[in-house]
Amino acid sequence: MSKTRSETLFETWLVSNSLPFRAISAERGVSTPDYGVTIGEAEIIFELKQIEAGRNWADEMVHSGEVGKFIRDRITKSKRQIQAASKGGKPTVLIIYNDYDPFQLFGTEDHDFEHAMYGADTVVLAKDSGRLVDRFHGDGKSFQSGKNTSFSALARLRQAGRDAEVTVTIFENMHAAVPIDYVSLPPCFKVVRVNQSR
């Protein structure tokens, strides 16, 4: 079976950053993740999902959508694979590649990940003064204490820029049952940690 574009890019990125990895063999009738990547003494399990649309980007004049929807959909589709690895005590990452938007932005920007993970950025204003009263993450939370804790993090795989540079950005799940040791991650990983003050 031929590899998807995301699999090829991810493997190329791993090799170029000298990160040992193994492709996890699929078992009939069993949901398994895609890759095990060795970092130091630990193995992090990666499940790769690709965003593809049933339509051509160039055919549409206007692009609109719900913030975080593509990400939430991929979280739902990957639960089984992620849970199996997490139960084994290994950190797990759902890595998402946007093969729909040629700029790889629509639906996979930082705020899409934040909204999908922790809910829509919500503000409350005072009726009389219009002043900010409160700010919090509202509807659409995929990650909460006791919900989807098997995901250690989400990640974005992107190829962009003049040099078609491939990058991997990890978004921390503050509710993870098996957290990633972020200190041990090599600098090839871009990391977005959670601001727990909100």
Which pLDDT belongs to residue 106?
64
- pLDDT-derived band at 115, boundaries 50, 70, 90: confident
Q: Which residue has the tokens 């940690």?
A: 193
Report the range out of 5-19, 59-73, 117-131 with the highest average pLDDT: 5-19
Q: What is the DSSP string of 125-186?
A: E-TTT--EEEEEE-S--S-BTTBSTT--EEEEEEEETTTTEEEEEEEE-TT-SS---GGGS-
123 lies in a domain? yes
Q: What is the pLDDT of residues 81-106, one digit of tens each?
A: 888 888 889 999 999 998 776 556 66
pTM of the model: 0.83
Handedness of CA 100, 47, 183, 198 (dihedral sign): positive
Q: Are 146 and 139 in contact (CB under 8 A)?
A: no
Rounded percentage of the chain residues whose pLDDT exceeds 90: 32
Q: Look at residue 14 in the predicted model and tell me its pLDDT.
A: 97
The answer to the question of residue 66 being in a domain is yes
The total of structural domains in the chain comes to 1
Average pLDDT over residues 123-132: 84
Give domain status of residue 67, yes or no.
Answer: yes
Residue 197 falls within a domain, yes or no?
no
Residue 91's domain comprises 5-192
Tell whether 64 is covered by a domain.
yes
